[in-house]
Amino acid sequence: MTGVKIGWQGGVVVFTKEAKVLFDPTSGRPTGRNTHVFITHAHADHTYGFRSSAKKYATPETIAIYKRLDRRRLDDLVTVKLNQAIKVGNINVTPINAGHMLGSTQFLVETPEKKVLYTGDINCVDTLTTEAAQVDECDELITEATYGDPFYIFPSRHRIYARIVEWAAAQAKKGRSPVFQVYAAGKAQEIVKLFNIYTTLPVVTNSFVSKVNDAHTEFGVKLNYEDASREGKIPRRPHIFVTTYRDDSASSEESARAVATGWALKMPSRGLASFPLSSHADFRQLVHYARATKAKRIYIYTGYVDVFANYLGKKLGVAARPLPALAQTELGDF
């Protein structure tokens, strides 16, 4: 029996006889004795681990964004730094840049037997607010496949930026304020930065986006914007309004709405302008990344799991498969 087990059990798990590490758990339920929880980034579907009673690890940027969006008290929390290893029993866990959003990390897990790299969500190109994901060699790779289908190949980021600015300028000339409905953390700040750099249009953000903007400013990402909740501070139209998907308050005859997401490649218009700007790696990036790690075994855990596993197996000649689910009895083996 191997001394290392890898799989899914309410999150991505790597464990040995001496240590158990759990990445991005999907709930805050108890995780068992001596479990160490690692959180890759501050998007809501990845932050359930902050509610766990276990010892928790995250970057200061991830913690700062989470605290601004959720007032829960955080206990037993350890701040991690990129490229500095944390020792958990006989395992070393090293955070490395994921390029997905401010503070996002992958985790390189070094056990006595092998190196395992867990990507979390990754983006493999530079953006206006992040640097491309770091690549480290490993024996086994656990990777996302959100866009792990050959259909999803995005245009160059600069081309997308140009299209967004051109559309917004055309709307502004008509006296309409462009409204971007995007994720409050990550995508919103990239849109704010885009208009700060390439236009003189003032930018307004809703209160949720403004909180995350403040966290970016704290860590050196300068953003110029006005908070929509501050009376008397909103510039005259036209201006750029950056808000969340669920906020319909800006819909009016004086506005023009847009979304920015990788799903725009297949998204029906429905009266919206849509731009394929994603914080995830596209299919081509994912394949290049997997090849660069030189992993001999690859586990895929989300998105186009079977499609991507089959492609990697044929093209790279590696053992690629969906991440297996682990039963509670398997943990008992140790």
8 Å CB contact between 258 and 182: no
CA–CA distance, 162 with 271 (Å, rounded to integer): 21
Q: How do the pLDDT tens digits run along the chain, 334 residues long?
A: 468 999 999 999 999 999 999 999 998 776 666 899 999 999 999 999 999 989 999 999 999 999 999 877 888 899 999 999 999 999 999 999 999 999 999 999 999 999 999 999 999 999 999 999 999 999 999 999 999 999 999 999 999 999 999 999 999 999 999 999 999 999 999 999 999 999 999 999 999 999 999 999 999 999 999 998 876 566 677 899 999 987 766 666 678 999 999 999 998 767 789 999 999 999 999 999 999 999 999 999 999 999 999 999 999 999 999 999 997 655 444 3
- Distance from chain centroid for Cα 307: 21
Rounded to 5 degrees, φ, ψ at 73 are -75, 135
Q: Which two tokens stand for residue 35?
A: 């479990």
Tokens 């908070």 appear where? 227
What is the predicted pLDDT for the residue at 334?
A: 37
Sign of the C-alpha dihedral computed for residues 85, 86, 87 and 88 taken in this order: negative
Q: What is the pLDDT of residue 1?
A: 45
Element (H, E) at 237: none
Q: Of 131, 212, 198, give the one whose Cα is nearest residue 162.
A: 198
Give which of 66, 25, 75 is closest to 48, Cα–Cα: 25
The Cα 42–Cα 219 span in angstroms is: 15
Nearest residue to 58 (alpha-carbon basis) of 23, 92, 6, 31: 23
CB neighbours of 217 closer than 8 A, spacing ≥ 6? 223
Distance CA 96, CA 119 (A): 9
Encoding tokens for residue 228?
């929509």
Do the Cβ atoms of 247 and 169 come closer than 8 Å? Answer: no
